[in-house]
Chain A
């Protein structure tokens, strides 16, 4: 504890040799909490030897809102909206996890229509999240233009969300038992338009970034995370799939209607930044594939199951796992039989993925750290919760 303050106070001097700095001439710099590459308030204390990274130490908590504690005083209907604020880029998927957990506890049968719509929404969210990641990651490594190109497509998804859910980012559209409202009449038309546009534009991404020789050189062999380490560090999502770990919850433990749609789990084996990049790019195309299968086959019926006005989970423990755009999100509810959870734990993907950063970054250059953070796709509120 004393040590961090020391580092913060030391300002811009090179720390003297000692057990903290590791050796004479090591440079300790604070990346963040305000830094262009951290996309939020992540604070990394980096020990450098020249440009080479010797140690990365994350310091968290700058946006910690103690959502877990907050949820202990919210009812099972109310706590879902808070989770949109964790990983705000995959708000729908977070809400899905919570709704699933409550439904599991209450044994609510969710109508087929609601399940299909949830999957479409989740996949749209995933595309939107990956779009933002693509733009932001390109900006991290110095290309500014892709950011705007990515946002052009993302904007279309946001418009679809706005029409149906009434908000663009923190929608709170899922309720225990189904959905909050019926789909907007234009929904299917708009989604099809978006898919047509997206398929046209996604090739431009390859022209602009993926094939670029500078980009490939910046990404290839950077931040290698071997398969065993990825599992040991609890990585999930594209970060782990880039290392060849089968961890797509949608395939392993299917929820909603994921067992009824055809899609591939994207795996790359290199484990470097380029592999993680390729996983996300290819995942967007798989998401489009899922949406295409479902968009014309939304079954008729209720969008919401009949539920009691006051939800009470039976005494016990309930755990639900979903695949967000960043990895595995677990919601663990311990209920004492009341209207509010006794204890709730969100196992957020970013927290575990971040813990592997130090392992990945050692020995690489400062510029690579930015590329690694970009391909880990860190969302700070998700890490801090």
Chain B
């Protein structure tokens, strides 16, 4: 059976056999870095195309269909266009911060890739506080947005950045709390432990109603955290023209754009890992034949399938709902999501202590 794990092991074995351990380490790091950047590029292209196609079909349109077969090369063409465009720095902007901001957004997105298990035994960095690491690092994203908004010396950008600051800080809370429910049930912060705990069934099925509630809250909170509609107040096209990236153009804009999509991918990957069993195949109790067929599907396919399903749901939100207003956005968090998820956390704790989950 084809699997990513075998490829990585083969490379590791070959490198270990050819070079001494230090060089092996260095080579592996380079390969990992290149792979992450490659994944970035591919994900950016795929997700942009996917978003456009999803949007088009929901809006009774065809979507991109001119560049390449079925418009598959459309995002390539877009990237090319963005590459050759002039990256302007507005007069009066804080040049250093202005140019730094997109890179911070990008670096944060890259850092978040580390603890994600893309397939069985295929992970960049298996650290024991994986989930904590993710929620900690993803908060840095807000700094790049604030930086971009402030440094642009544009009132729209500033307002977008300020909105985004309030938004991300508050939605961290309920995202964190809903992640905690799974952590409590598993008893570990390690990503692999969480996935292995779901070998006999995903948490969303095993954890009764409280986990379903926390799953819903998680989806809402991460939609807000990644500044996606209906929570795209930082961009708020019809109010703030383009929010914090109003003044960005060319490749600097593309980095923000890419970072947004990578963030969506990462939060969906985390959602898939925590609630939908990561790369664990779908098993039904004692249907051995069915389970066998499911096992035959490579674990990476399972992981990406689940992740893309969640991405689709988030895109579905975007193309259906109107945008919230800033005070309503904070109301939703502090009056609804936070109390519910705190109460929910209590329930889950009780379930975990009493051992009611499967």
Contact = CB atoms under 8 A, between A and B. Distances in A.
Contacts of A141: 238, 322-323
Interface stretch (B75-83, B151-159, B183-191): B151-159
B158 to A, nearest CB: 8
B322 A212 contact: yes
Interface residues of A, number: 33
A30 to B, nearest CB: 9
B239 interface: yes
B326 interface: yes
A212 B230 CA distance: 12
B321 A143 contact: yes
A367 interface: yes
A215 B322 contact: yes
A37 B240 CA distance: 9
A368 B238 contact: no
A270 B159 CA distance: 31
Given A12-B92, A365-B325, A365-B327, A145 B239 contact: no
Contacts of A147: 59
15 contacts: A11-B92, A12-B92, A12-B154, A29-B156, A36-B237, A141-B323, A142-B229, A142-B323, A143-B322, A152-B60, A214-B230, A218-B323, A366-B240, A367-B239, A367-B325
Contacts of A140: 238
A344 interface: no
A145 B58 CA distance: 7
- The 8 A-B residue pairs whose C-beta atoms are closest, nearest first, are A142-B323, A148-B59, A143-B322, A37-B238, A367-B325, A141-B322, A142-B322, A140-B238
Contacts of B239: 37, 366-367, 369-370
Contacts of A212: 321-322
Contacts of B103: none
A62 interface: no
A148 B238 contact: no
Given A29-B155, A367-B325, A367-B326, A145 B238 contact: no
A360 to B, nearest CB: 16
Interface in A187-239: 208-209, 212, 214-215, 217-218
A331 interface: no
Contact of B321 (A152, A214, A365, A367): A214
B155 A27 contact: yes
A249 interface: no
B55 interface: yes
Interface in A103-149: 138-145, 147-149
Nearest to B152: A12
Given A36-B237, A138-B322, A367-B323, A144 B55 contact: yes
A370 B238 contact: yes
B241 A36 contact: yes
B328 interface: yes
Contacts of B236: 142, 367
A142 B232 contact: yes
B9 interface: no
A63 B216 CA distance: 48
A218 B322 contact: yes
Interface in B302-358: 319-328
A209 B322 contact: yes
A367 B233 CA distance: 9
Contact of A12 (B59, B153, B321): B153
Contacts of B326: 51, 365, 367
Interface in A33-47: 35-37
B328 A218 contact: yes
Contacts of B233: 367
Nearest to A148: B59
B61 interface: yes
A147 B320 CA distance: 11
Interface string B231-255: 0110011111100000000000000
Nearest to B153: A12
B332 to A, nearest CB: 9
Nearest to B60: A148
Interface string B140-175: 000000000000011110110001000000000000
Contacts of B319: 144-145
Contacts of A148: 59-61
Contact of B320 (A36, A145, A367): A145
B320 to A, nearest CB: 6
Contact of B238 (A12, A27, A142): A142
